[in-house]
Amino acid sequence: MTKSLIKGEKFVIGKRNEGLNQLRLELKFKNPYGSLVDIDLFAFFMDEKNVVDQEDIIFYNHPFKDKIITYKEEDDDEEYKKIFTIDLNKLPKDTLKIIFGCSIYKDKNIKEAKKIPLTFTAFEQMTQMEMFQIQEEVEIGINETFLLGDIYAYKDLWKFNTVLYKHEKQLLDIAKSLYEMKIYSCK
């Protein structure tokens, strides 16, 4: 049975550099507003000094990093999916955290608070078995940012930390504030 996570809850994914540790992380939502609203999923690779290289921000315009992570989108007329596939065993040794967040884009005519239910699910890639799930509603009239959580290294384990933080500021501003994150271009 799938574990349903709440804010602040942790989930052990597996041992570092052992086992499969290949995940599919899927954000799923129904969008009754069509092209008036879009929700994009982002991943930030952070090292032990809370530094993120611009090349380590994965999203629809930068959908992959080597053979470590890929991003894709699937949708039909009713349901939208934003999907990361990640191999934790291939992460660089200095990557100790991956932050997952969403940016909400809306037409200027959507002013009042309208809620869209989101489901964020983690699957073990090889078996397709659900590991955990987060269900949350986001008020798109108010919020521009939604931080889901992060995968982080703890001793010899990979864990997921449920953050569930919504805000009216942009995603990068919130990530920098909550995680004391610094972004650089290391080219």
Q: Supply φ then ψ for residue 31, to 5 degrees.
A: -120, 95
Percent of the chain with pLDDT over 90: 49
Looking at per-residue pLDDT, the higher value among 143 and 8 belongs to 8
State residue 112's pLDDT score: 67
Q: Supply φ then ψ for residue 55, to 5 degrees.
A: -70, -15
* Residue 180 predicted with pLDDT over 60: yes
Question: What is the C-alpha end-to-end distance of the chain, expressed in Å?
Answer: 44
Asked if 15 and 154 touch (Cβ cutoff 8 Å), the reply is: no
Please give the DSSP secondary-structure letter assigned to residue 18: S
Pure H helices in the chain: 171-179
What domains can be seen in the chain, in order of their start residue? 3-184 (2.60.60.30)
* Mean pLDDT, rounded, for 37-66: 90
| Confidence (pTM) | 0.90
Query: What CA–CA distance (Å, rounded) separates 114 from 71?
Result: 27
Looking at per-residue pLDDT, the higher value among 121 and 38 belongs to 121
User: pLDDT tens digits, residue range 100-157?
Assistant: 999 988 888 776 668 899 999 999 988 899 999 999 998 888 888 899 999 999 999 9
State residue 183's pLDDT score: 81
